[in-house]
Structure 1
Amino acid sequence: MENIEKNKTAYIASLIITTIVIGVAAGLGADALGYILSFFEGLFLSFKESAELPVSIHINPWQRFFSVFAGSIIAAIVWYFLHKKWHLTSVNEALEGKKMSFVGISLHDFIQTFYIGTGGSVGREAAPREFAAMLAQNWLKLYTKFEKFKLTNDDYKLILAAAAGAGLAGQYVAPLSGTFFALEILYKKVSRKSIAVCLSMSVIATLLGTLRDGFTPYYIILHKNLSFNLVPFAIFLGIVLGYFGFVFRKYVAKAKKNRIEDRKILFTLPLAGLMTGAVAYFYPYIMGNGRGIAQMAYNTRHMSNEIVMALLICLIAKAVVTTYTIYSGAYGGILTPSISIGATFGVLTGMIYVLIFPQISLFECGLVGSVAFLTASQQAPLLAIFLVFELCHLDVSALIPMGIAAGVSICIGIILSKEID
């Protein structure tokens, strides 16, 4: 009995130590990648990113064009040689037991961050997730050499999933989003232990993430509460964006499956950079992870032909360019690109809805659209709700329309996939 209690104590202690160590590592890793991103944004695009200035709009358009084009050429060369040297193990592959190379993944995440810093059209959250999972895997390999600190195979998957979620949390200062990403998308099991590990790790990473930019909203909005009059519109967006988000998810999955990894990348990725640069010459908000497009949508206060045209072009271009960028050989996330696509669609259709309910602001329609589209693209309603909630520092009242949009959107996804878990 005494031995059982000792083993139980040692097991709990090992989980606590591992959670703290990896949480710290994930937060510091996210900080490091954030500083690298800021460095290359300053070097190539001559600006410091903030919620007030999410993209480089004040420089010569040709600088934007050549920034992302040059970045795509450099990234293509680096990824070409990385593929020749290492298999770039994904987080999902790591969950199945495949090894993540410390050097290979570190270089891989560095070049991801570099390309986004030059204006590449993909999400920035994949790199800190992968980096954190790689550090967790290496920590577990070292730590479990000691017999009394042995963890189960299920613990191994839980800790890697929690680490990836903590990387997301540290990047965007969003602890609940990191927790739900780990539980809803990666680990896919809920228990007191899994909640404790994932939430604790994400909170630790978030605290360290605040060292970089503080605890400020990622997006600036007019006010924090959302009107209950949005409910009918939330149902509408849940249906429409539930469908389009599911289609987007399908094409992104196909792009990832057929991603160029051989010498063709030396042509296809620069072509993606050329496409991005061509759009960015006229519409700089296309650059980067979509923060600029989403903020432009949330800033919309009135209707005009110029605004409608800009939103429509950015919506279509972001979806097409991001998907092609992934297919062409680049790596990155689609969380914030999805938020931006949903935001623009929500604001565009909201221009009609606010004629019926003039007390509603257009940005409210954009927020609900972001949740609906992100839910569909990830098939993860809790992640979608709380990522937008945390990025905007919203009031609790926002959960009603956002929750309805997410609920309808995931139902559409279930119907389309003909799968009920």
Structure 2
Amino acid sequence: MSVKSIACSPVRHERSLFAAVAAVTLLTGVGAGLSGMLLALLLHGIQHLAYGYSVDHLISAESFLQGVTGASPERRVLVLTICGLVAGLGWWALYRLGRPLVSIRQAVKSGDPQMPLTSTTVHALLQIITVALGSPLGREVAPREIGSALAGWLSRRAGLPVAQSRIMVACGAGAGLAAVYNVPLGGAVFVLEVLLGTFGWPALVPAIVTASIAARVAQLGLGNEHQYLVPAMSVSAPLVAWAIVCGPVFGATAWCFTELMKRSRAAAPKDWRLPVLSLLNFAIIGVLAMHFPQLLGNGKGTAGLAFDGGLTISLAAMLLVLKVVITASSLRAGAEGGLLTPGLANGALLAIVLGGLWSVFWPGASLGAFAVVGATAFLAASMQMPITAVVLVFEFTRVSQDFLIPVLLAVAGSLLAFQACVKWVPALQPGFGFDWSGASEVR
């Protein structure tokens, strides 16, 4: 071999690797966008059929809450009973017959970052179907898992090194999140802050590109809509002071929420008890929904009511307690799903309660403004992703950047309180510890 060919080999190898990474990045973005769009359309379609509301509202952000409220109480019980059957039998069969599931976090850290395509797809579809039928868990994990599984498969086909494959698997998750919620920046930041823990260029560029492509592709079928339509709100002195005082409250309650959810998920059965507990759990949720239709679904409708100021303090308090209980019971029964949207809804409901009480002594801020700030603080602490939480809520609601001041103050207080609970509560109550590394439950 000539000296010239030896010198050119590394250059050719770098060019070939760059071309492979570029191709995988492009295909991951397109694939995650298409899968996210199809999953969202499937979700809306099942909701329409299950609760019988107008097909004209399939894409409407608030149609599910309207459809559930308009359905008869008996129909809610029936649909939730069906949800329990689907969840129980579906996950029991998957655990019994399918290949072992690999979470996104496990794949990103693995020496072979692959996720079983068939099992992952079934797992994702079960989440979408049950959330559409009324499960209180989040739907955001499903498109993330599909995006990651696709990215891992593409990386292997392209012969990418392990390090680059891990980055692409993480980017697939962020692209799926960006597609289903129309949050390109939030999807990219989620990859960098939560999954990879770096903002370096090798991760930054593919994260931004895949999330942007996925969001744009998904818009072709879902439209360029905001997740929440909030009224015009302003920042005031009472709101800023409330954010400082109540920020730690959101952190402490977020710690309690994550600990409860972690313990509930860990205790979930995978044997014959799963179908039994699942059917019983969702039937009970259906009975509760006869009186509180706001309980059904991942919490998006409830959060929308809070942002819009459409809840009273008493109703918000009741929904908060019930939402936490049924979310924990669903995980305990063996159902699967995310905690992002449920956490956002819980933070908004808690903010309505705390903000309403605050306004009695110091009026001057709307309940919707309290909800936006509180939802961000709760989500930041419960998922341990402060930057991502801030970006997501601003993309979800499109509130003014003036809200950055109270939001950041509340988030800072929330994170400090969460860390204090992690550090001191185990010492005060042995056996009631919390695994910091698993706080975000990224699947």
Which TM-score band applies after superposition, normalised by the shorter structure? over 0.9
TM-score w.r.t. the length of structure 2 is: 0.88
CA contact (8 A) 1:89 1:98 kept: no
Separation of aligned partners in 2, 1:59 and 1:383? 36
Aligned to 1:112: 127
Q: Are 2:44 and 1:38 equivalent residues in the alignment?
A: yes
Partner of residue 147, structure 1:
none
Other-structure match for 2:345: 340
TM-superposed deviation, 1:299: 2.6
Q: Would the aligned equivalents of 2:127 and 2:142 in 1 still touch at CA under 8 Å?
A: yes
Q: 1:343·1:369 contact (CA, 8 Å) conserved in 2?
A: yes
Q: Give the equivalent residue in structure 2 for 1:169.
A: 178
Residue 121 in structure 1 maps to residue 130 in structure 2: no
Superposition deviation, residue 280 in structure 1: 1.0
In 1, are the aligned partners of 2:261 and 2:328 still within 8 Å (CA)?
A: yes
8 Å contact kept, 1:23–1:166: yes
Farther-moved stretch of structure 1 (198-207 vs 231-240): 231-240
> CA 1:314–1:324 in 2, change beyond 3 Å: closer, same or farther?
same
- Equivalent residue number for residue 417 of structure 2: 412
Offset at residue 224 of structure 1 (A): 5.6
Q: CA deviation at 1:75?
A: 2.1
Equivalent residue letter for 2:396: L
Q: Is the 8 A contact 1:371 1:384 kept in 2?
A: yes
The answer (yes or no) to whether the contact 2:238–2:363 under 8 Å persists in 1 is: no
Structure 2 Cα separation of the partners of residues 131 and 282 of structure 1: 35
State the partner residue of 2:106. Answer: 93
- Partner letter of residue 91 of structure 1? I
Return the offset for 1:388.
0.9
Contact kept? 2:47, 2:64, Cα under 8 Å? no
Task: State the secondary structure of the residue aligned to 2:69.
Answer: coil
Q: CA deviation at 1:142?
A: 1.5
Describe the shift of the 1:231–1:420 C-alpha distance in structure 2 as closer, same or farther (beyond 3 A).
farther
In structure 2, how many angstroms separate the alpha carbons of the residues matched to 1:344 and 1:381? 19
Contact 2:33/2:217 (<8 A) preserved: yes
> 1:377 deviation in Å?
0.9
Aligned-residue offset at 1:93? 2.2
Aligned counterpart, 1:220: 229
- Cα distance in 2 for partners of 1:348, 1:159 equals 42
**Counterparts in 2 of 1:58 and 1:420: CA distance versus 1, 3 Å:** closer
- Taking the aligned partners of 1:405 and 1:212, their CA distance within structure 2 comes to 36
| Deviation of 1:356 (Å) | 4.7
Deviation of 1:259 after TM superposition, in Å, equals 2.3
1:61 aligns with 73
Q: 2:39 is matched by which residue type in structure 1? A: L
Find out whether 1:187 has 2:196 as its counterpart: yes
Q: What is the alpha-carbon distance in structure 2 between the residues aligned to residue 273 and residue 296 of structure 1?
A: 23
- Whole-angstrom distance in 2 between the partners of 1:414 and 1:297: 27
| 1:4-403 correspondence to structure 2 within 5 Å | 4-47=10-53, 48=57, 50-55=60-65, 56-86=68-98, 87-95=100-108, 96=110, 97=112, 99-144=114-159, 151-223=160-232, 225-227=234-236, 229-300=238-309, 307-403=312-408
Q: What's the offset of the Cα at 1:152?
A: 2.8
Contact preservation (8 Å) 1:28, 1:209: yes
In 2, distance between residues paired with 1:203 and 1:54? 27
> Conserved in 2, the CA contact under 8 Å of 1:121 and 1:276?
no
Runs (5+) with no aligned partner, structure 1: 145-150
What per-residue deviation string (whole Å, max 9, x for no partner) do you get for residues 133-189 of structure 1? 111111112221xxxxxx332212111111111111101000121112212221112
Q: In structure 1, what is the equivalent of residue 441 of structure 2?
A: none
The alpha-carbon distance between structure 1 residues 180 and 272, as it changes in their structure 2 partners (threshold 3 A), is farther
SS of residue matched to 1:220: coil
- Unaligned runs of 5+ residues in structure 2 are 1-6, 424-434, 438-443
Q: Read off the aligned partner of 1:114 and give its amino acid letter.
A: I
Displacement of 1:289 after TM fit?
A: 0.6
Mapped partners of 2:210, 2:113: distance in 1 = 22
Question: What is the alpha-carbon distance in structure 2 between the residues aligned to residue 4 and residue 396 of structure 1?
Answer: 47
Identity of aligned residues (%): 27
Change in CA separation of 1:165 and 1:224 when aligned onto 2, cut-off 3 Å: farther
Q: Secondary structure at the match of 2:369?
A: helix
Please state how far the C-alpha of 1:64 moved relative to its aligned partner: 1.2
Give the counterpart letter for 1:265 in structure 2: L
Task: Provide the residue aligned with 1:148 in structure 2.
Answer: none
SS in 1 for 2:282: helix
Partner of 2:432 in structure 1?
A: none
Q: In 2, are the aligned partners of 1:380 and 1:410 still within 8 Å (CA)?
A: no
For residues 4-45 of structure 1, the C-alpha deviation after alignment (integer angstroms, 9 at most, x for no partner) is: 332222222222211111011111110111111011101111
RMSD after superposition: 1.9
SS at match of 1:124: coil
For 1:14 and 1:5, the matched residues in 2 are separated by 14
Displacement after TM superposition at 1:192 (Å): 1.4
Partner secondary structure for residue 208 of structure 1: helix
Asked whether the 8 Å contact 1:45–1:63 carries over to 2, the reply is yes
Aligned partners of 1:225 and 1:308: how far apart in 2? 21
How many positions carry a matched residue from both structures? 411
The answer to whether the 8 A contact 2:101-2:120 is kept is yes
Distance 1:255 1:301 in 2: 31
Q: Which moved more, 1:215-224 or 1:384-393?
A: 215-224
Deviations for 1:177-233, whole angstroms, at most 9, x for unmatched residues?
111221222111220121111111111111112123312221121116544542221
Matched residue SS, 1:374: helix
Q: Secondary structure at the match of 1:282?
A: coil
After superposition, give the CA deviation of every residue in 1:311-364 in whole Å (9 maximum; x if it has no partner).
111101111111221121111101010111000111111112234553321100
